[in-house]
Structure 1
Amino acid sequence: MQDNPYQKMLGIMAGVTRNNAAPVLVIGKVIEDLPNIKVQYNGIILDKNDLWINDYLLTNHTRTHRGHIVSATQDRGGGGGYAEFASHNHDIHNDFTDTEITTDSDLKPGYYVAMYPLTDSTDGTKQKYVVLCHIQEGRLL
């Protein structure tokens, strides 16, 4: 009996598909915090040379918020029953700028992180992982 050429071609196509499938998110566990971070994934220990880390997870990350607020204070009354102390409020109609600086990292030992595998674009050969965010298992909430 001869090999079915169509079956052989389908096998080759399936292999190509497997080899070119897009990577999926993976879960790692932080085992050592910054600055010498170590993350365990799939039985291996990744260190800072294997990771790209989202800035928002780092200590001393600065983020500026800007906006405009329209509101009013709550009614308040004064004392003595005088008209000038009657219950009143104040309108708020202001621009604001607020700077947030993180004082702690979201990369503590025991924390789980979502990671995305990639090939390091600086040399095109090394496997790296982008640490996207700190995650928690839903059933534990």
Structure 2
Amino acid sequence: MAGVSQNNQSPTLVIGKVISDLPNIRIQYNGIVLDKDDLWINDYLLTNHTRTHKGHIVSATQYRSGGGGYALFESHNHDIDNDYTDTETTTDSDLKAGYYVAMFPIQDSTDGTKQKYVVLCHITRGWTL
């Protein structure tokens, strides 16, 4: 029973170390070197990944004092009540040689035979902070 239980445990999160940058990425884990054919990579870690942020802002500008004593220059502000859209594009990758990454082992469903790894995020050792 113990052997069957051990064989059917869910995989655990693992830590790999990037040893070669993109586009020919290589990550070392558990004594083996994984290349791009062994990896599924979170889009947010890649160069030129674009995200769009949308929202609505309600606020007001700060009061500004006027000059010259004229009414049209007296202290005033402007209300802000607008929708906004902002686009962010990454200009660099979070997958550089020497970086550590959190990975999750999976069975590749595209061919059903090879173990692959999902690269989830770039991580940092706590004691280095």
Q: Shared fold by TM > 0.5? A: yes
Match of 1:44 among 20, 29, 32: 32
The answer as to 2:85 corresponding to 1:97 is yes
Match of 1:53 among 33, 41, 52: 41
What is the deviation of 1:123? 1.3
Once residues 58 and 127 of structure 2 are traced to their aligned partners in structure 1, the CA distance between those partners, rounded to angstroms, is: 39
Partner of 1:26: 14
What is the deviation of 1:83? 2.3
Bigger radius of gyration among the two: 1
Partner of 1:17: 5
Count of residues in correspondence between the two structures: 129
Higher helix share: 1
> What stretches of structure 1 move > 4 A for 4+ residues in a row?
none
Once residues 139 and 92 of structure 1 are traced to their aligned partners in structure 2, the CA distance between those partners, rounded to angstroms, is: 44
Once residues 97 and 67 of structure 2 are traced to their aligned partners in structure 1, the CA distance between those partners, rounded to angstroms, is: 56
Q: TM-score, normalised by structure 1?
A: 0.88
Match of 1:107 among 85, 95, 99: 95
Structure 1: give runs of 5+ residues left out of the alignment: 1-12
Partner of 1:10: none
The answer as to 2:128 corresponding to 1:137 is no
Structure 2: give runs of 5+ residues left out of the alignment: none
Match of 1:67, SS state, is: strand
